[in-house]
Amino acid sequence: MALKRLGIIGFGNIARQLLGVLARTLEQPLDATIVLVRPGSEPENQARLAAQADGAAKACRCVATLDDLLAAAPDLVIECAGHEAVKFSAETILAGGTELVVASTGALSDAALYERLLAAARRGGTRLILPAGAVGGIDILAGIRHAGLESVTYTSRKPPAAWIGTPAERTVDLAGLEKAAVFYEGTARQAAADYPKNANTAATIALAGAGFDRTDVRLIADPGAGGNIHQIDVNSQAATVSIRIEGQVSDDNPRTSLPTVYSLVREVLRRTAPVVI
């Protein structure tokens, strides 16, 4: 079914940029965009949404409850709000038969939640879509997993300041670091538990490939890193893969990963454009 009515959960940096890019990318504006925001913030967000969604959709509306979002009958919902939002909304959306794109894939390191979402998608006759987000190579990884994966290693290299407020502070002097330091080596499951704010990329790679317990993760604080650098190394019968992605952040907000915004744009275009790639 062609996408006409787009639901979005969260109206932060990614959602705003997503609507801005859609406004200049879609061949035709969508019929409607309905955005779930935190209760009480609808008035302030409605004006921002009207400006941001201009060109992306003919009509746009902020709502404050999941019931109101679903009552607006979106064809697709994109979550870009955070792990808690996945926990409270995803099962209901999928069980009701609406396709759901989850940006906060790190929430799916909770195996029980992931199983519930798969069951809900089956019940609802719909799909849970996991976008590539800030990383790439998900296509080849998800394909060759069926040939058997010998090893998958994900290395995340960021400037020391990006690790402030994480357990890295206990093992590394982030402020005084002069050369790159590996402060975590372990499974994607443990990385997601210990570094939840950085869990999305490791989770996406784990879910596409070898799973949370067989995906090795290395986290590095590197004073020489200009931005967030992702390296994925895969050995399998079908291919040996090495991919390096240096994502740029948005000028408006240095916390916003532009590849993530564009991976969500791609999910919309895959449902509106005449060619899917």
Which residues between 63 and 102 bind ligand NAD (CB under 6 A)?
A: 80-85, 88
Q: Which uninterrupted H or E stretch holds 181?
A: strand 181-187
Query: Minimal distance in Å, beta carbon 196 to ligand NAD?
Result: 9
For the chain, the straight-line distance linking the first and the last C-alpha, in angstroms and rounded, comes to: 17
Which residues between 13 and 42 bind ligand NAD (CB under 6 A)?
A: 13-15, 36-38
Q: Which uninterrupted H or E stretch holds 248?
A: none
Token code pair at residue 160: 């020391």
> At 144, phi and psi to the nearest 5?
-80, -5
User: Is 146 tagged catalytic?
Assistant: no
The reply to whether 53 sits near ligand NAD by the rule CB under 6 A is no
Which residues between 124 and 183 bind ligand NAD (CB under 6 A)?
A: 133-134
The reply to whether 52 sits near ligand NAD by the rule CB under 6 A is no
Question: Using CB under 6 A, which of the segments 12-20, 151-159, 164-172, 222-230 binds ligand NAD?
Answer: 12-20
Checking DSSP bridges between strand 181-187 and strand 240-247, what pairing results, if any?
unpaired
Query: Who contacts 122 (Cβ-Cβ below 8 Å, separation ≥6)?
Result: none
Residue 57 neighbours by CB distance under 10 Å: 23
Q: Which of 4, 83, 157, 230 is catalytic?
A: 230
Query: Minimal distance in Å, beta carbon 107 to ligand NAD?
Result: 8
Of 134 and 210, which has the nearer Cβ to ligand NAD? 134
Which residues between 202 and 261 bind ligand NAD (CB under 6 A)?
A: 204, 255-257, 260
Query: Who contacts 225 (Cβ-Cβ below 8 Å, separation ≥6)?
Result: 157, 158, 159, 180
Token code pair at residue 198: 């950085």
Active site residues: 230
By the criterion CB under 6 A, which residues form the site for ligand NAD?
Answer: 9-15, 36-38, 80-85, 88, 103-105, 133-134, 200-201, 204, 255-257, 260
